[in-house]
Amino acid sequence: MSLKWTDVQEIAIQLAEQHADIDPQYVNFMDLHQWVCQLEAFDDDPEKSNEKILEAIQALWIEEAQE
């Protein structure tokens, strides 16, 4: 399965697993963008992200971290 920017829920889950020691509410968007692009399953144009997508990923990651 390849991940696209629209797969915000799955991206958030994978980030929560790979960066379990990180508090996602303090992650800046530059780092978040880089970490998404580095996910093994990620297969989308890095230029297609925007602040709205990154905010959605971060919000879902925060939810994942709280579970």
The CATH number for 13's domain is 1.10.10.600
Handedness of CA 24, 60, 18, 49 (dihedral sign): negative
**Residue 22 included in any domain:** yes
Query: Is 3 inside a domain boundary?
Result: no
Answer whether 0.75 is exceeded by the pTM. yes
Structural domain harbouring 28: 8-66
Distance CA 58, CA 29 (A): 9
Q: Judge whether 41 lies within some domain.
A: yes
SS3 26: helix
Per residue in 6-60, pLDDT (tens digit) is 999 999 999 999 999 999 999 999 999 999 999 999 999 999 999 999 999 999 9
Q: Per the structure, how many domains does the chain have?
A: 1
Indicate whether 20 belongs to any domain.
yes
24 contacts 58 by C-beta, under 8 angstroms: yes
